[in-house]
Amino acid sequence: MFDLLVRHGTLVLPWGEVEADIGVTDGRIAAIGTGLGDGAEVFDAKNLHVLPGVIDPHVHFRDGGAGGIPGVEDMVSGTRGAVLGGVTAVFDMPNTTPAGISAPAMTAKHAYIEGHAHCDVGLYVGATKDNADELGALETLPGICAIKVFAGSSTGTLLVEDDASIERVMRSGRRRIAFHSEDEYRLQARRSLFKSGDPYASHALWRDVECALLGTRRILALARKTGRPAHILHVSTAEELAYLKAHKDIASAEILLNHLVQSAPDVYERLGPYAVMNPPLRDARHVDAAWAAVADGTIDTIGSDHAPHARAAKEKPWPECAAGLTGVQTLLPMMLDQVNAGRLSLARLADLMSAGPARIYGAVNKGRLCAGYDADLTIIDRRATRRIANADMASPCGWTPFDGITCTGWPMATVVRGNVVMREGEVVAPLSGRAMKFK
């Protein structure tokens, strides 16, 4: 007798799809096979596919343990959106109030997760010029998924733009470091070329290809010098992808959904400020390169960079408008639609969105359908067709850049450590998320 028995699902395994049952005991996968017996709770997954729990490795829930930003986001609403979107775990960024840059702040945020999260949560600790020498200790605190370095414009003290300071960060500790890798010096030098009220498409001209490539080349040179592996977040240019392909021994790479499915200039014409994000959305040449990098293995993870803002902050003239888009709830539906369109296989999706984040960040017992691993399951209907709508978003900000898009493929249930927390579009369990563990 299992605590939960998922019957007749089509399991997405690295070597193919297999119809089998999954038996869960004490929050972990106890058995995979057929004729497993019975369960205290039984989920009939006939005609559905069972993925390893999807991980969104890049979210900004705006909550440092003080309740987030009213009307925008907090840990509760952010993780609610995650499970509604089939996501079983998220990695939350440190640009919060209070900022996640010290041992007391990280310890408090770690304790805050339980009772405020619907899914499991990992935490980035932010690098600053002041805490650079302490990061080796901070990265070993419970729940820490990685150090995050903002090498391009950020808030407060979370900007580490010069080579000497980045090298100090890289020499403190030994785990893989995640980077926002735009070049701050080029950003500042080009700022005077633009004025308030310029078209929103100016965002991609200001934060141009050279800005991104310079940042990534500098960081990889320092990674090579120090021997410290780097994870380049939200890679947005064909040039960076070509460069990263030649440096996979020292660097891994994340692509965002947005850089796969949205392109300039039409996205700025359609969405205006709701297309403004960092790094910016670029033209079709870069989108094509991103899909090629997904196909050839250059990309290791896919994230949403979920970064909600109030409508009033988004709808200002450029460049005063807030940069950042929502995405955690729509990440998997939009990617399933790409599977339906034939742009990648379901197995490759599971590699990029389950196994990949677990491997890159060292998440313990996550990312695989395997006996002994946490029973994190994302159960999908590949044939279901649903329309994304602003009104259905869990984020209090109430908008998505994908409003009105119809997707084929949809999450039908989200199981976190054996708890069915979402079923057919409804959150059906109390807050049961926990802080994750990392190697």
pLDDT over 90 (residue 155) = no
Does residue 32 fall inside a structural domain?
yes
Q: Are 43 and 58 part of one and the same domain?
A: no
Overall average pLDDT of the 303-317 stretch: 98
Q: Are 221 and 238 part of one and the same domain?
A: yes
Residue pair 273/239 in contact (Cβ under 8 Å)? The answer is no
Q: How far apart are CA 125 and CA 438, in angstroms?
A: 13
Does residue 385 fall inside a structural domain?
yes
pLDDT over 80 (residue 27) = yes
- Residue 279's closest CA among 176, 401, 151, 158? 151
Residue pair 409/333 in contact (Cβ under 8 Å)? The answer is yes
Does residue 436 fall inside a structural domain?
no
Does residue 334 fall inside a structural domain?
yes
Overall average pLDDT of the 270-298 stretch: 98
Using a pLDDT cut of 70, give the percent of the chain over it. Answer: 100
Overall average pLDDT of the 36-57 stretch: 97
pLDDT tens digits for range 80-89: 999 999 999 9
Q: How far apart are CA 221 and CA 203, in angstroms?
A: 27
pTM of the model: 0.98
Q: Are 85 and 6 part of one and the same domain?
A: no
- Which residue matches tokens 């991609």? 204
Q: Are 262 and 409 part of one and the same domain?
A: no
**Which tokens sit at 176?**
């893989």
Domain of residue 161, CATH code: 3.20.20.140
Domain count, the chain: 2
Q: Are 304 and 388 part of one and the same domain?
A: no
Q: Which domain holds residue 188?
A: 54-361
Q: Are 203 and 333 part of one and the same domain?
A: yes
pLDDT tens digits for range 106-143: 999 999 999 999 999 999 999 999 999 999 999 999 99
Does residue 287 fall inside a structural domain?
yes
Q: Are 212 and 144 part of one and the same domain?
A: yes
Domain of residue 21, CATH code: 2.30.40.10
For residue 320, the model assigns a pLDDT of 97
Does residue 368 fall inside a structural domain?
no
Q: How many residues does the chain have?
A: 439
Using a pLDDT cut of 90, give the percent of the chain over it. Answer: 98
- Residue 19's closest CA among 327, 352, 369, 270? 369
**Which tokens sit at 16?**
């193919």
pLDDT tens digits for range 377-399: 999 999 999 999 999 999 999 99
Q: How many CA atoms lie within 13 A of 1 on its CB side?
A: 2
H-run or E-run covering 239: helix 238-245
Q: Are 7 and 43 part of one and the same domain?
A: yes
Q: Are 277 and 313 part of one and the same domain?
A: yes
Question: For the chain, what is the mean pLDDT?
Answer: 97
Q: Which amino acid is at 330?
A: T
For residue 284, the model assigns a pLDDT of 98
For residue 153, the model assigns a pLDDT of 79
Q: How far apart are CA 362 and CA 357, in angstroms?
A: 8
For residue 157, the model assigns a pLDDT of 81
Q: Are 143 and 41 part of one and the same domain?
A: no
Least confident residue range of 39-43, 155-159, 184-188: 155-159
Q: How far apart are CA 421 and CA 412, in angstroms?
A: 11
pLDDT tens digits for range 90-109: 999 999 999 999 999 999 99
Does residue 433 fall inside a structural domain?
no
User: How many other CB atoms are there within 10 angstroms of residue 370's CB atom?
Assistant: 13
pLDDT over 80 (residue 54) = yes
Does residue 80 fall inside a structural domain?
yes
pLDDT tens digits for range 321-362: 999 999 999 999 999 999 999 999 999 999 999 999 999 999
For residue 73, the model assigns a pLDDT of 98
Residue pair 135/147 in contact (Cβ under 8 Å)? The answer is yes
For residue 159, the model assigns a pLDDT of 95
CB neighbour burial string for 283-303, b if at least 16 within 10 angstroms, e if fewer: eeebbebbbebbeeebbbbbb
Q: Are 211 and 255 part of one and the same domain?
A: yes
Q: Are 38 and 62 part of one and the same domain?
A: no
For residue 169, the model assigns a pLDDT of 98
Q: What are phi and psi of 208, to 5 degrees?
A: -80, 180
- Residue 275's closest CA among 257, 288, 262? 262
